Structure 1
Amino acid sequence: MPVECRLHPASPLPDDALLDRVRNLASSLVSDVFGRWAGAPGLLPVAGLRPGQVIAGPAFTVRTRPGDNLVVHKALDLARPGEVLVVAAGGATDRAILGGLMGQYARERGLAGLIVDGAIRDRSDLEQVAPPVFAAGISHLGPYKDGPGDLRSAVSVAGLTIHDGDIIIGDEDGIAVLPRSRAEEIIVAAEAKREAEAAESAAISAGTWDRAWIDAALRMVDVPA
């Protein structure tokens, strides 16, 4: 008997120019300017990400039973080019949610990235044929295909709430999210921080980096020998 898969309405796709600006940032910049809590700890790049590469795209959210990938297959059929598949699988790492064949299909479909709050497998294959993959772990054990699940609903991924259409940024440090309604605000702030950090880097090279803030923040106490 078929199981229920609830499908919520699709979000409008963002402008390419906005995504280009995000690709010129870093997950750490987004996290720093957005309360230092915009990231999903433990979800790290496991395949397909080139050194220095930054991915950006709107989230296609999936909620599935841990260890089950039936609705993930359906999500791959429905996802639009440029979207980032975000799978909330409960953080369980005993069974892989996707592997090489699904990764290859995701690339053929034009997805920008795959994020799994759970395990993946076929790491070498994913390295060769998939878009960048972020996951909580790796397991050779295969998934169940029983369902049920939700597509395009709000999900919780490694403690981070993500809504369908939110902007995902992923790089070597992991992933961060820009809520769709605040994306422009966060991008502007992250761009300003990027320029400030570039100025600090120049000061380090010139030997003029101001370190006075450290002493201002500390009350030093000498300990007797």
Structure 2
Amino acid sequence: MIEEPPLLTVTKDRRRPTEAQIAAFRGVPTGFVCDAMDGSGALDAAISPIGDGRDIDCVVAGPALTADNRPSDLLATLAALHYITPGDVLVGGASGHQGCAAAGDRVMGMLKNRGGAGFVTDGPLRDYAGIVKVGLPAWCTGLTPNSPFAKGPGSVGGEVTLGGRLVRTGDMIVADRDGVVVVPFERIDAVIARLAHVSELEHALDADVEKGFCDPLEITEMIADKRLVEI
């Protein structure tokens, strides 16, 4: 017989990036962050800005506080509100369940009241007009009016798997209209160190394209040294 789990499990000893580390990601496009991680780090494209970012400025950079919920449940997400540090991005896992909302406008309002910077989930949200009124950046898989339950069990402050990636509390979340990127806590400094170089390369290429550059593969040179053969 399986023993009944506790209703909620909360990890209180949580790592968190420094304010300087957090600031280093503010205003940085998600594409730059992925490039600094060798082209990876983004959650599945199904997790996108609510309303495609039409009505809310969906841009955020902050530490993850995770809430791991069972399908159709949001008890851990509600509990996580108590543990929010201002600037945190609440990552509310819904076990990928699409049959009901992972949260709605009241949860977004309470998260904003606690100082949360944004919300990320692998489920839909509900109460779009109310969420727009709250104005908190949010990323989800879509919208549904179906309601979740709050029965548990769930966990807060540990880790959650969503969008094809493992997210641990303290990882950096960098998100914009292109999507959500997760920077593992252990890699934060290494990624920050690479961001300046990535930005320099990106801006240089932008300038070249504006001047008319249109041959990124240098086809003529590839033909000359036989890397490319025309038949």
1:9 and 2:18 matched? no
State the Cα distance separating 1:4 from its structure 2 match. 2.0
- Structure 2 stretches of 5 or more lacking a match? none
Residue by residue over 1:18-54, the C-alpha shift from the partner in whole angstroms, topping out at 9 and shown as x without a partner, is 2222013111121223133301111101059578763
Paired position in structure 2 for 1:24: 27
1:170 equivalent among 168, 175, 183: 175
AA aligned to 2:82 is D
Aligned match of 1:219:
228
Deviations 1:119-178 (A, max 9, x none): 110112111204201011211000011110111112111111111100000100010011
Deviation at 1:2, TM superposition (A): 9.8
Q: Which has the higher strand share?
A: 1
AA matched with 1:46? I
AA partner of residue 201 (structure 1): D
User: How far apart are the structure 2 equivalents of 1:103 and 1:47?
Assistant: 15
* 1-structure distance, mates of 2:65, 2:164: 17
Matched length = 222
2:97 counterpart SS class:
coil
Cα RMSD for the two superposed structures: 2.4
Aligned residues with identical type, % of pairs: 28
Give, in angstroms, the shift of residue 67 of structure 1.
0.9
Q: Which residue of 2 aligns with 1:131?
A: 136
Separation of aligned partners in 2, 1:105 and 1:23:
23
How do residues 50-199 of structure 1 correspond to structure 2 at under 5 angstroms? Answer: 54-199=59-204
By how many angstroms is 1:219 displaced?
3.2
Using the alignment, how far apart are the partners of 2:88 and 2:218 within structure 1? 42
Q: Where does structure 1 differ by over 6 angstroms across 4 or more consecutive aligned residues?
A: none
TM-score (norm 1): 0.89
Which residues of structure 1 form unaligned runs of 5+? none
- 8 Å contact from structure 1 (residues 47, 126) kept in 2: no
2:43 maps to 40
AA paired with 2:142? Answer: G
Residues 59, 137 of structure 2: 8 Å contact kept:
no
User: Aligned partners of 2:82 and 2:208: how far apart in 1?
Assistant: 50
Which string of whole-angstrom CA distances, capped at 9 and with x for unpartnered residues, describes residues 173-209 of structure 1? 0100111111011122133111111011111222356
